[in-house]
Amino acid sequence: MNITSSAVPIKLDNVDTDQIIPARFLKATSREGFGDNLFRDWRYDKENQPIEGFVLNDSKYTGEILVAGKNFGCGSSREHAAWAIADYGFKVVVSSFFADIFKSNALNNFILPIQVSDAFLGYLFEAIEANPNLEINADLKTQILSVPSLGMSTNFEINPYKKECLLNGYDDIDYLLALKEVTQVYEQTHIYAGV
């Protein structure tokens, strides 16, 4: 995963999953099509007209990287939030803090959540505002997020296991299924197993 793209900034803290994808859109039974309702109530008014001023409706801002304020993805555990972000076309979300479940949902859907310092996030917002076409690079292999034209860069953390999964395109279930026998041995002596 090595992505170079302009970014879409959402300069708000505590963006919760009810905003990312409101509950009334959770009725689908497949994973596809959620992108149309990403940030639905910030994006469209009651008559389904785009709300002017919301960043997804502003053609200045495009790209595969979403940059958002602190505590992104808090609230409900709905994976639909990650599906909506992926379906819309984002591959990377940058914030100074992610809610736990969102982070894990994102990784399970091959979206890279990159946590940066509050200060770096602040520069990033300013730089994007000054130049909406600003190119940002997220390189999973080196774990570096950079803005080459400004000479700005920062390292980011990612768990080595998840990195391996993302780089190789395999997921948790593949890994767990390979441990089937170990689990069966465990179950033989476990108090709550085997009902």
Partner 1 sequence: MSSTTPKTLFEKIWDKHVVQYKEGYPDVLYIDRHFIHEVTSPQAFDGLRKRGIGVAKPKQTIATADHNVPTKNQHLPIQELLSRHQVDTLIQNCDEFGVELYGLGHEKQGIVHVIGPELGITLPGMTIVCGDSHTSTHGAFGSIAFGIGTSQVEQVLATQSILQYKPKTMRIEINGELGRGVVSKDIILFIISKISASGGTGYFVEYAGSAIESLSMEARMTICNMSIEMGARGGMIAPDQTTFDYIEGREFAPKGEAWEEAMAYWSTLKTDEGAQYDKVITFDAKDIEPWITYGTNPGMGIGISQEIPELAVNSTEKDMEKALGYMGLDKNQLLKGKKIDYVFIGSCTNSRIEDLRMVAEFVKGKKKANDVNVWIVPGSKKVEAQAIAEGLDKVFTEAGFDLRQPGCSACLAMNEDKVPEGKYCVSTSNRNFEGRQGPGSRTFLVSPLMAAAAAVTGEITDVREMI
Residues of this chain that interact with partner 1 (CB under 8 A) are: 11-14, 16, 18-19, 22-24, 26-31, 41, 46, 70-71, 74-80, 82, 97, 99-101, 104-105, 108-109, 159-161, 171-173, 175-177, 179-180, 182-183, 186-187, 190-193, 195
Instruction: Give the nearest distance from C-beta 149 to partner 1 in angstroms.
Output: 28
CB of 146 to partner 1, least distance (A): 26
What is the DSSP code string of 7-53?
A: EEEE--S--BHHHHS-GGGTT-SSSTTGGGGTTHHHHB-TTSPBPTT
Residue 137: CB minimum distance to partner 1, A: 26
- Closest contact distance (angstroms) between CB of 69 and partner 1 is 8
Nearer to partner 1, 130 or 173 (CB): 173
Contacts of 83 (CB under 8 A, 6+ apart): 21, 31, 34, 109
Look-up: residue for tokens 């179950």? 187
Find out whether 16 and 41 touch, Cβ atoms under 8 Å: no
Nearer to partner 1 by Cβ, of 114 and 147: the residue is 114
Smaller CB distance to partner 1: residue 16 or 139? 16
Question: Sign of the C-alpha dihedral, residues 176, 91, 163, 117?
Answer: negative
Minimum Å gap between C-beta 136 and partner 1 is: 23
C-beta closer to partner 1: residue 64 or 79: 79
Of the pair 61, 97, the CB lying nearest partner 1 is at 97
**DSSP alpha helices (H): ranges in the chain?**
17-20, 40-43, 80-88, 100-108, 118-130, 160-168, 172-177, 180-188
Quick count: other Cβ atoms within 10 Å of Cβ 46?
6
